Amino acid sequence: MIISWSLVEIFRYLFYAFGLVTGDSNKKTPYPLFWLRYSLFAVLYPTGITGELTCFFSAAYDPAFQSTFSADIAIWIYARILPLVYVFGSPFMIMNMVGNRKSAFKKRFARPPPPPRGIVFPVEEGKKSRSSTPVNKEILASAVGAVNPSKAEKIRSAKGYRFTYVKHLTGLVEEQCKSPEACLKIAQAGLDKAYDIFEFVAPDGSAVSVREAMSMKNTEKFCTGFIKGEGAKDTTMMEVPYKGTILKGQSLKDQVKKWVDYGTIEPSAGEAIIGCVDNPNWCDLSDKYFVLLGAGSAMGPLLVLLALGANVIAVDLDRPNIWKRLIGLAKKSPGTITFPLKQEQSSLDSDDALYAAAGCNLFTHTPMIRDWLMDLYPGKSFTVGSYAYLNGALHVQVSLAMDAITRDLSEKRPGTSLAYLCTPTDLHLVPKEAWDASVSNFKEYGSRLLCMFVRLLSSGRLLKKNAKAPVAGEGGDFYMINGVSVAQGPNYILAKRMQHWRAVVARSKGCIVSSNIAPATSTVSVTQNRTFAWAYEGMPYFEPYEIFAPETSNAVMSAILFSDLNSPKSVGNPKTSLNNPNQLFSQGSFHGGNWRCAYEVDSIGETSVLIYFARIGAPYIAGSAVVLAAVAYKVLGY
């Protein structure tokens, strides 16, 4: 034990010493020392653990110790029972080091980032870095500053913005509730600031604002690729995959009613889905054109659209593997796919050549994509869906890129409608019925032993009340639910907020806008974070939460989209009267229980993880109880 742990520390502290001297322990440490620091654990952890266990057992079975065990039961149990912890704890410790090693090697041998291209954050004043926090603060401040300058100054002077941005977001939404004019003024000011503050860097390194870049003439043009599917259209009905079955017709209606009654979705979302069942012509998409920005997104409607014979105009990265998949899906479907090409399709002599020439980059080709779409299929009405998603600051950049395209299409191409997927982890206005349900659940869960214990232990930091105080505004009181997860960060919220702003502005100008809340979904991008995956497993304890599979979320959100595009009563139709533009996001919500849950989603994560591990650990806990009972019987005689 001593030899193993001493060797571990010798190389670890040598590694730290080089880091102090060189200023970069990861890249400047001599490679042999770097390798030993992150590799010796494979030998020394098992031998060190074996040494510790040997010490335990040597003590437990020493004759001198045996003769005194009845005088000190605690030590006797400690020497025999505590080693059980190693059975469960050792793999976690070793796998943690495996993850650290993988991350360290990736950083050491990572290529330097390429020079900035396309839409990028501006260089921070007085520095060489492109930081996202000052930009986040300035855009939000400029937005709310259009109606309340004092709140804008509080945002600009905020400290620790990474953890305090939610209160400033709340203040912005409260200002939007005061009147329809204030709501639209804030939205337009926020978008305007984003176009002015973000840069567009050309291949030669020259930079202009995104506003200027989108107003320039482009000499380069995309060619157009087209594939007609060979599959037979086998359905004109809305079908929803759910827990191993296919719901359609009456079975879908029955399940929708269960979701509504349980509180997993809002009644308006249920009505929209049932509307698709009752109007099968809404699902005949053979003459409809859908532009998918981020066509391959896990939450996008590509598969549903192709299955229903739609004409999909796909925009995604210029990577052959992406287009091999997208074109392959289209060929097997009754739909069609149109996509940007770097050269004429007739000049490509193989499928591999087609895949290599297909695609574009939303960051760097933004004006070219806009121009290509403006000229495509003259006279046809487009529904433009913004589905691209990236992590961190890149999500803000791609959201602005999509906005630059949707702005011009919605304002300059007649008949264009817009589609968005809102996240449940945001700050939304909700119907009073949903707010009342959340308040009622808070009272009910407050009497549960687990919830009382967690709130007491955390001093109220966990299991916070979901329903916020009503906000008075022109047209009555407005009700809010705080679904924001602080861990997602201000970049995520800004990206989604820009989509909100474009949605209300476009709708105010007569554009149909489908912008509905999608449920928490077990996509790969989410569940690759183990903590999120564990939390998802435990969240259904808090009724009416339900976590959905991607194929279910895609289908139900597509159904609500079709309702928005066809139903004159839809809230997405600009002819439907609203007391406030932000009520666009109050209807058609398939929130998965977020709105009616007793507690804020950001305050149930730790408890959900605890519930998950309590469930999977129940057999082990029961086994340990049996062992302890046996020990008690042996030692105490009962």
Q: Is the pLDDT of residue 70 over 60?
A: no
Contacts (Cβ under 8 Å, ≥6 apart) of 55: 1
**Tokens 């840069």 correspond to what residue?**
199
45 flagged as catalytic: yes
Asked if residues 477 and 470 have their Cβ atoms less than 8 Å apart, the reply is yes
Q: Which one is predicted more confidently, 414 or 636?
A: 414
Encode pLDDT of 599-622 as tens digits: 999 899 889 988 888 887 766 666
**Domain membership flag for residue 627:** no
**Domain membership flag for residue 632:** no
Encode pLDDT of 481-508 as tens digits: 999 988 889 999 999 999 999 999 999 9
Predicted pLDDT at 250? 96
| 192: containing domain | 121-215
Q: By C-alpha distance, which of 135, 113, 111 is closest to 123?
A: 135
Q: Is the pLDDT of residue 636 over 70?
A: no
**Domain membership flag for residue 636:** no
DSSP states of 324-382? HHHHHHHHTSSSEEEEEESS-GGG--SHHHHHHHB---TTTSHHHHHHHHHHSSTTPPE
16 flagged as catalytic: no
Beta bridge partners of 394: none
Measured at the CA of 111, the angle between CA 105 and CA 116, to 5 degrees, comes to: 140
**Amino acid identity for residue 410 in this structure:** S
Q: Is the pLDDT of residue 93 over 90?
A: no
Instruction: Read off the pLDDT band of 119 (50, 70, 90).
Output: very high
Do 184 and 242 fall within a single domain? no
Asked if residues 168 and 154 have their Cβ atoms less than 8 Å apart, the reply is yes
Instruction: Read off the pLDDT band of 284 (50, 70, 90).
Output: very high
Q: For the whole prediction, is pTM greater than 0.75?
A: yes
Predicted pLDDT at 74? 62
DSSP states of 267-307? HHHHHHHHHHHH-GGGG--TT-EEEEETTT-TTS-HHHHHH
Instruction: Read off the pLDDT band of 96 (50, 70, 90).
Output: confident
Instruction: Read off the pLDDT band of 135 (50, 70, 90).
Output: very high
Do 209 and 340 fall within a single domain? no
Do 76 and 132 fall within a single domain? no
DSSP, res 465: B
Q: By C-alpha distance, which of 389, 561, 378, 585 is closest to 478?
A: 585
CA distances from 22 to 8, 34, 39 (A): 21, 13, 21
Predicted pLDDT at 329? 97
How many C-beta atoms lie closer than 10 Å to residue 145's C-beta? 22
Do 138 and 246 fall within a single domain? no
**Domain membership flag for residue 160:** yes
Arithmetic mean of pLDDT, 541-564: 95
Q: Is the pLDDT of residue 194 over 90?
A: yes
- For residue 387, the surrounding DSSP H or E stretch is none
Asked if residues 368 and 220 have their Cβ atoms less than 8 Å apart, the reply is yes
Total domains, the chain: 3
Predicted pLDDT at 23? 78
Q: Is the pLDDT of residue 109 over 70?
A: yes
Predicted pLDDT at 252? 96
Q: What is the CATH number of the domain that holds 421?
A: 3.40.50.720
Do 172 and 305 fall within a single domain? no
**Domain membership flag for residue 621:** no
Predicted pLDDT at 88? 73
Do 199 and 312 fall within a single domain? no
Q: Is the pLDDT of residue 175 over 90?
A: yes
Last residue of a domain, one of 215, 236, 251: 215
Asked if residues 271 and 257 have their Cβ atoms less than 8 Å apart, the reply is no
**Tokens 């057992």 correspond to what residue?**
57
Contacts (Cβ under 8 Å, ≥6 apart) of 359: 316, 317, 318, 319, 322, 323, 339, 340
State the Cα–Cα distance between residues 33 and 14, nearest whole angstrom: 8
State the Cα–Cα distance between residues 540 and 558, nearest whole angstrom: 24
Do 102 and 138 fall within a single domain? no
How many C-beta atoms lie closer than 10 Å to residue 273's C-beta? 28
Q: Which one is predicted more confidently, 479 or 537?
A: 479
Catalytic residue among 13, 38, 45, 195, which? 45
Q: Which of 358-362, 364-368, 496-500, 532-536 is least confident?
A: 532-536
Asked if residues 467 and 442 have their Cβ atoms less than 8 Å apart, the reply is yes
Predicted pLDDT at 73? 63
Q: Which one is predicted more confidently, 129 or 456?
A: 456
Pairing of strands 199-201, 476-482: unpaired
**Domain membership flag for residue 568:** yes
State the Cα–Cα distance between residues 186 and 140, nearest whole angstrom: 9
Do 241 and 354 fall within a single domain? yes
Do 145 and 246 fall within a single domain? no
**Amino acid identity for residue 560 in this structure:** I
Asked if residues 204 and 324 have their Cβ atoms less than 8 Å apart, the reply is no
State the Cα–Cα distance between residues 304 and 239, nearest whole angstrom: 9
Predicted pLDDT at 90? 85
Arithmetic mean of pLDDT, 360-370: 96
Predicted pLDDT at 427? 93
Q: Which one is predicted more confidently, 546 or 87?
A: 546
Q: What is the mean pLDDT of the chain?
A: 91
**Domain membership flag for residue 634:** no
Instruction: Read off the pLDDT band of 558 (50, 70, 90).
Output: very high
Instruction: Give the burial class of 230: count Cβ atoms within 10 A of its Cβ; 0-12 exposed, 13-18 middle, 19 or more buried.
Output: exposed
Catalytic residue among 38, 52, 262, 344, which? 52
State the Cα–Cα distance between residues 171 and 344, nearest whole angstrom: 51
Instruction: Give the burial class of 105: count Cβ atoms within 10 A of its Cβ; 0-12 exposed, 13-18 middle, 19 or more buried.
Output: middle
Do 325 and 413 fall within a single domain? yes
Residue 450 phi/psi, 5-degree rounding, is -60, -45
Q: Which one is predicted more confidently, 583 or 75?
A: 583
DSSP, res 527: H
Measured N-to-C along each axis, helices 73-81 and 618-636 cross at an angle, to the nearest 10 degrees, of: 140
Predicted pLDDT at 604? 92
Token pair in block for residue 32: 């042999």
Predicted pLDDT at 487? 83
How many C-beta atoms lie closer than 10 Å to residue 234's C-beta? 8
**Domain membership flag for residue 12:** yes
Do 363 and 305 fall within a single domain? yes
Do 389 and 302 fall within a single domain? yes
Predicted pLDDT at 621? 63
3 state SS of 310: coil
Arithmetic mean of pLDDT, 264-268: 97
Encode pLDDT of 593-603 as tens digits: 999 999 999 89
Beta bridge partners of 421: 516
* Percent above pLDDT 90 for the chain: 71
Predicted pLDDT at 21? 85
Arithmetic mean of pLDDT, 626-635: 60
